[in-house]
Amino acid sequence: MNATSPVLRVLAPNPSPLTLEGTNSYLVFAGARAIAIDPGPPIAAHVDALIAAAAARAATIAAIAVTHGHPDHAPAAAMLRARTNAPVYGHANATFPIDRAVGDGARIDIADASGEIASLGVIDAPGHARDHLVFTYARESALFTGDVVIGYGTIVIAPPHGDMRAYQRTLARLRDEHGDARTIYGGHGAAVGDPRAKLDEYIAHRQRRESEILTELAAGERTIPELVTAIYESVARVLWPAAARQVLAYLIALEREGRVHSRSLERELTRAETAMLDPDLSAIVDPQSIAVARAELGYDRELTTIDAYRLC
């Protein structure tokens, strides 16, 4: 990305442990027009910044493409639409308002008056969220991956909307069909210059975590907090609630496959278990990021009892 690149990153001012430095919004230019990808959280100054970044290249925003409905990616789409009249493109099951549903194999095209074209391909990419899309940009041999692949670290697959096996299939498909891409522009962090290596790393990481869980369970019945304490020891404790959601995603997959069995321990959570499974998010992120954290972590019900898991 440089002054002459048709891709421009505009960083949203929403840093947190779950969003890294903030959400990456992107503009893809075609002469005097641009596609905005992931306008981001509902921050008016960021919408202003997107419009100004387009104007700085004498362009207007003609289309808005959203990777998924999480509150750090999608809400500004409606705000940007109100300012530009550009249609919002998203998944058919999008959890946010869209003008045009796009599915696997669809294209999002814009052209300016001189005939310059920008064209994005659409890949259905479930796993992190059910309404997740990845966009391809052949001209730069680039992928816009939202929260499927980010610049550094790994992303959270949190039930009920996150599905570990769907996510693993999405990663495998991206590697098999787009491993030759030159650049991944993720939803957070810097651009990735070696997509195949990054996808291999993500795929191996998931397999390693799953085998760590299976190794622990081979030693006996375990609760999720016990698994997290054993497996995520080297990870910052502030991220343990996210790790717990991740472990749950593996366990749901394994239970569905008949490899793991769960039972309720029929007792209330200890304070340490509550801190991991139902944490006070205001102690983890700033107040305006709590909605993002709840969505990213998939909290949808109150926990009253704790489960234990064993191998079948």
Q: Which is nearer to Zn ion, 13 or 220 (CB)?
A: 13
CB of 70 to Zn ion, least distance (A): 3
CB of 129 to Zn ion, least distance (A): 6
Interface residues toward Zn ion, by CB under 5 A: 70, 147
CB of 27 to Zn ion, least distance (A): 20
CB of 263 to Zn ion, least distance (A): 31
Q: Which is nearer to Zn ion, 59 or 133 (CB)?
A: 133
CB of 167 to Zn ion, least distance (A): 12
- The residue sitting closest to Zn ion, measured at its beta carbon, is 70
By DSSP bridging, strand 33-37 and strand 24-30 are: antiparallel
Q: Which is nearer to Zn ion, 147 or 163 (CB)?
A: 147
189-198, long-range: CB within 8 Å, 24+ apart, which pairs? 189/20, 189/21, 189/24, 189/150, 189/151, 189/152, 189/153, 190/151, 190/152, 191/1, 191/9, 191/151, 192/149, 192/151, 195/143, 195/149, 198/149
Q: Which is nearer to Zn ion, 40 or 225 (CB)?
A: 40
Q: Which is nearer to Zn ion, 131 or 147 (CB)?
A: 147
**Rounded (5°) CA angle 256-213-134:** 65
CB of 69 to Zn ion, least distance (A): 8
Q: Which is nearer to Zn ion, 165 or 222 (CB)?
A: 165
Kindly give, in sequence order, each residue whose CB lies less than 8 Å from that of residue 283, ignoring residues fewer than 6 positions away. Answer: none
Q: Which is nearer to Zn ion, 128 or 198 (CB)?
A: 128
CB of 149 to Zn ion, least distance (A): 12
CB of 210 to Zn ion, least distance (A): 21
CB of 299 to Zn ion, least distance (A): 14
Q: Which is nearer to Zn ion, 73 or 198 (CB)?
A: 73
Q: Which is nearer to Zn ion, 225 or 298 (CB)?
A: 298
Cis peptide before 159 (omega within 30 of 0): no
